[in-house]
A and B are shown apart, each in its own frame.
Chain A
């Protein structure tokens, strides 16, 4: 009878002190395994897609595409290139360039809210010019359609001199060019 009591008590002790904690730990381990399984099941197609994409974007045509893209939105700031292009656009439109002032302090990074998307930076230039209406119009159009992405943030166009009917203007434009942070 005493042995029976010992066995029963022993069973309870084994259950509450050993089996139950071991079972709880086991549940955690099972959860961990299921988590890894799920992760792997989700990541497998994603990684396969990435591998396919890499295959697609490693050929010559993809290289050209990447170069074109980098010409439009360079990786990192390139002040001199932006300046040269801006000066070229003023010249091509026939305007007389007064000055170009890079506003370095106003350069800023615009973070993206999307995952993996890197922040975009801006380089700001103030361009002063003189020219005819059509030349100004052409200059604005050239900026908007330039390969390196540029945008006119503000512009001011005033008649040059007081004489009415003269198609000559003086103007300033705040132009920004964009780049992507490396």
Chain B
């Protein structure tokens, strides 16, 4: 049986050409490749030189900036600043042993005579040699030193009795707090006190004060 002519006509016509999947893949891969290469070119020859230019500009700006302060001025300023800082540090640490004389004037028993004074700024110690009219006077003196807040520790290092005069000779080492010899002490402690005498060392107490034996720790004066 023969096919209808319409059908024969349809079958004999060539199929219409439509784009296939292979050409799409080719198009996609080509685009991908071009994009990838384009990005590389953009980075390498676009953005990187731009950043490098920026860095060069910043370096120049920094160099120009530092030139604004001449080297000589920089040295002078550093030296000045350094002097101020060093001076401040040194003044804070400076020992003021003269303050100890005022303190001793205030805190020496009237029946005790101090005859020698050794100061050690490194250890913040004072070693005092002296004479006491009696052992009671010496005890009172030691108690007085111990009761002072600025005395860190006290140590009696030598004690002997002179049989002829009946005078007790002693040596005591006082370790003071760091603030004792500092200049700040002036306003806090020393200047607040008003010593009644300024000769605690070397003046004859035991030999010239007759008959005074007790209750002298409350006195702030020394002969």
Contact = CB atoms under 8 A, between A and B. Distances in A.
Contact of A141 (B82, B98, B120): B98
B96 interface: yes
Contacts of A47: 65-66, 68-69
Nearest to A172: B118
A84 interface: no
B47 A26 contact: yes
A141 B183 CA distance: 11
Interface of B is mostly: helix
Contact of A159 (B79, B81, B202): B202
A69 B65 contact: no
A8 interface: yes
A4 B54 CA distance: 40
Interface string B65-93: 11011000110011111111111011100
Interface string B134-149: 0000000000000000
Interface residues of A, number: 70
Interface string A22-56: 11011001101100110110011001001101100
B87 A149 contact: yes
Interface string B107-150: 00000010111111110000000010000000000000000000
B82 A116 contact: yes
Interface of A is mostly: helix
Contact of A157 (B28, B65, B118): B118
Contacts of A26: 43, 47-48, 51
Given A30-B51, A152-B95, A10 B68 contact: no
Contacts of B113: 164
Contacts of A14: 33, 36-37, 40
A10 B40 CA distance: 13
A169 interface: yes
A66 B73 CA distance: 13
Interface of B: 22, 25-26, 28-30, 32-33, 35-37, 39-40, 43-44, 47-48, 51-52, 54-55, 58-59, 61-62, 65-66, 68-69, 73-74, 77-87, 89-91, 94-98, 101, 113, 115-122, 131, 183, 198-199, 201-204, 207-208
Interface of A: 1, 3-8, 10-11, 14-15, 18-19, 22-23, 25-26, 29-30, 32-33, 36-37, 39-40, 43-44, 47, 50-51, 53-54, 57, 66, 69-70, 72-73, 75, 112, 114, 116-118, 120, 133-134, 137, 140-141, 144, 149, 151-159, 164-169, 178, 180, 182
Given A157-B116, A165-B207, 9 more contacts: A11-B32, A26-B48, A40-B65, A134-B198, A137-B98, A144-B183, A156-B118, A156-B119, A165-B202
